[in-house]
Amino acid sequence: MATILNPTYRTRLGYQAALLGGMCYLMSMLLIGGNSATQEQIAQHELMDKLNLLAQVMPASRYDNDPVTDAELITDSQWFSAPVEVLPARLGNEFAGAALQIQVQGWGGPINFIMAVDRDGEILGVRVINHKETPGLADKIELEKDDWISGFNGASLANTSHIQWAVKKDNGKFDQFTGATITPRAMVKGVYSGLQLYEQWQQQHKEPAS
């Protein structure tokens, strides 16, 4: 019967350390590869979600550029503590408006939403991306639950006074929710501030007269 030899180098500390190091390196590469693939999938899903929401607030017929590629991040706004992403829309090289992705603080946590504004400063649409507000009470900010958010359509700084940019409980023009006033207050303030930021951004990007 043949004797299976066990090479002595396998018992050496250096060999065992090298073997362990090689295995760790291999596992690290597999984890990095898996993480990169996962991150790419997440990024792709986020892009599709953004394009979906953009289509809901700004019809594709209004622009022929790529607003996502042309997006600008504003980090030093006087109205928002979180960065605001501005997605400009152009049609035939003419400025047509923009969508703004905004975050405000609600009752349960951050509320992320997107609003689209035409070149004249009128709101085309507002949609909530995600939130942590109380289900059954404050989740009426979702279009699927209630059409409350459609009340912003057509409003602008020009046709809605500063006083009107509030819920009716505060003498404004927008409805509040029974038992949940903080959430609609946050949304009204966020949309109003979004219009102010948009007006400032538009002035800064206005092309000089020829």
pLDDT in tens, the chain (210 residues): 555 555 654 555 565 666 676 777 777 777 776 666 576 776 667 667 777 888 999 999 999 999 999 999 999 999 999 999 999 999 998 999 999 999 999 999 999 999 999 999 999 999 999 999 888 888 899 999 999 999 999 999 999 999 999 999 999 999 999 888 999 999 999 999 999 999 999 998 875 444
Q: What pLDDT does residue 210 have?
A: 42
| pLDDT of amino acid 104 | 96
Which two three-digit tokens encode residue 156? 């602008």
Q: What are the beta bridge partners of residue 73?
A: 85
Distance CA 54, CA 88 (A): 11
Considering only CA atoms, which of 69, 112, 109, 111 is closest in space to residue 90?
Answer: 69
Residue-range domain boundaries for the chain: 8-43, 59-204
Q: Which residues contact 22 (CB under 8 A, 6 or more apart)?
A: none
pLDDT of residue 119: 94
CA atoms within 13 A on the CB side of 59: 3
Q: Which of 33, 31, 51 is nearest to 43 (CA)?
A: 51
For residue 166 the two structure tokens come to 């509030």
Residue 32 structure tokens:
């990095």
* pTM of the predicted protein model: 0.78
Question: Which amino acid does the sequence have at 122?
Answer: E
Q: What is the pLDDT of residue 34?
A: 66
